[in-house]
Amino acid sequence: MDNDNIMVLEDIWKIYNNGEHVIHSLANIDYTIEEGSFNIIYGPSGSGKSTLIRVMGLLELPTMGNVWIKGKNSAELPQKKRNIIIREEIGFLFQGSNLIHTLNAIENVTLPMIHTDKELARKLLEKVDFHDYMKLPNEMSTEDWQKVCLARAMVNNHSIILADEPTGDLHTSESEKLIKTLHELNRTENLTVVITTNNENIPKLGGKLTKIADGTFIHLNKL
Ligand SMILES: Nc1ncnc2c1ncn2[C@@H]1O[C@H](COP(=O)(O)OP(=O)(O)OP(=O)(O)O)[C@@H](O)[C@H]1O
Ligand SMILES: [Mg+2]
């Protein structure tokens, strides 16, 4: 496998069985994420975006197919090794990610650190352009809240940030700012980013665009 690829998805299928219904949440997904790339997966509600993020982040196993991370086939690793990959390689950002309400911004960012490093937390908050270090979550705007979540997602110097509809509850201008911050981090820190969205303005800001519908990628030559 090419070493410049952080993640390769190989013919991924995710099938849920709800008793009566069989749902193909993902079908025949092939996808390569290069180191330092900025990737957007764009699709409507119910198209499989969150399922894809969970499978990429090893939070859920695919029904069929392989997820390769840095040249290792995650399906062949014991759960303990997968947990180490989840902790060390992957940062997650979700719509409405939670912060601990009783902790200020710095404390929220230090929380997932193996060794508490407030100086690093401050640096990460600066990188996402958040400077009110002592603010409690309840005192933050939705935009600031997501910025703190993003700083926290970067704590362990992960290889890749997986962001599932990170601007889902932000206004248009706030969404744009958050995505621009992610682009900036991609450029300056070589951070690999995957974003899912159903907001048509986000792909306009740049990045490699892939469209998903009914659990499958839509390739232009198939339209
Ligand atoms: N745990 C589950 N059990 C059964 N069906 C599921 C499960 N998770 C997702 N699905 C189904 O898989 C399909 C894709 O869902 P998914 O949440 O991945 O889409 P999405 O693109 O993230 O949608 P949204 O934009 O609403 O967040 C949907 O039909 C959904 O109902
Ligand atoms: Mg979703």
197 lines ligand 1 (CB under 6 A): no
Average pLDDT, stretch 138-162?
Answer: 92
Q: Is the CB of 51 under 6 A from ligand 1?
A: yes
Confirm or reject: Cβ of 17 under 6 Å from ligand 1.
Answer: no
Residues in contact with 193: Cβ distance below 8 Å, sequence separation at least 6, in sequence order = 37, 38, 39, 160, 161, 163, 182, 185, 186, 207
What is the rounded distance in angstroms from the CA atom of residue 203 to the CA atom of residue 210? 9
From residue 154, how far is each of 114, 125, 162, 210 by CA, in Å?
13, 10, 11, 24
36 C-beta closer than 6 A to ligand 1? no
The full DSSP string for 177-218 is HHHHHHHHHHHHH--EEEEEE--TTSGGG-SEEEEEETTEEE
Strand, coil or helix: 142: helix
Q: How far is CA 1 from CA 31, 85, 106, in A?
A: 13, 18, 39
- Across 34-47, average pLDDT: 96
User: Which residue's alpha carbon is nearest to atom 14 within ligand 1?
Assistant: 48
Q: Tell me: the pLDDT tens digits for 99-135?
A: 999 999 999 999 988 889 999 999 999 999 999 999 9
**Protein residue with least CA distance to atom 31, ligand 1:** 46
Cβ(216) – ligand 1 distance below 6 Å: no
Q: How confident is the model at residue 2 (pLDDT cuts 50, 70, 90)?
A: low
Please give the average per-residue pLDDT across 214-222, as a whole number.
Answer: 79
| Nearest-angstrom CA–CA distance, 178 and 181 | 5
- Structure token digits, residue 178: 């958050």
Whether the per-residue pLDDT at 29 is higher than 70: the answer is yes
Percentage above 70 pLDDT, the chain: 97
pTM beyond cutoff 0.95: no
Q: In this predicted model, what pLDDT tens digit does every residue of 160-181 receive, in sequence order?
A: 999 999 998 888 988 999 999 9
The CA distances from residue 216 to 10, 133, 194, 211, in Å, are 13, 42, 17, 8
- Answer yes or no: CATH 3.60.70.12 is held by domain 5-217: no
Ligand 1 centroid–CA 46 distance in Å is 5
Q: What is the pLDDT averaged over residues 62-71?
A: 96
Residue 94 has pLDDT above 90, yes or no: no
Which candidate, 191, 129, 195, places its Cα nearest to that of 160? 191
46 CB less than 6 Å from ligand 1? yes
Averaged pLDDT score across all residues of the chain:
92
**161 neighbors 153 (Cβ within 8 angstroms):** yes
If pLDDT is split at 50, 70 and 90, which confidence band does 221 have?
low
Residue whose CA lies nearest to ligand 1 atom number 12 = 25
